[in-house]
Amino acid sequence: MPRSRRLLSKFYLQLDSHLAGHGFVHKDFLTLADITALCTVDFASVAGRVPLPETCANLWRWHREVSARPSAAA
């Protein structure tokens, strides 16, 4: 589990860095990559107990925006 937590923390930092210059994960609009990343982040935060780091402002922004979409509530 410690290795998984390290890898997840690295993923969060890399995604945060990418999102500094992009609104979404892959294109300029919502794609399957965003949906997959959202599921990963949400599952890791709850089941894996690895919340988003407070320092990842871009990742937090992206998570809020994608989670607020009506399709995310389904």
**Cα–Cα separations (whole angstroms), residue 41 to 7, 29, 32, 45, 48:** 13, 19, 14, 6, 10
pLDDT number for residue 72? 87
Record the pTM.
0.89
pLDDT above 90: residue 74: no
Q: Extract the tokens encoding 60.
A: 């937090």
Crossing angle between the packed helical segments 32-46 and 57-67, to the nearest 10 degrees: 110
User: pLDDT tens-digit profile of 3-15?
Assistant: 988 999 999 999 9
User: pLDDT tens-digit profile of 19-60?
Assistant: 999 999 999 999 999 999 999 999 998 887 889 999 999 999
pLDDT number for residue 2? 87
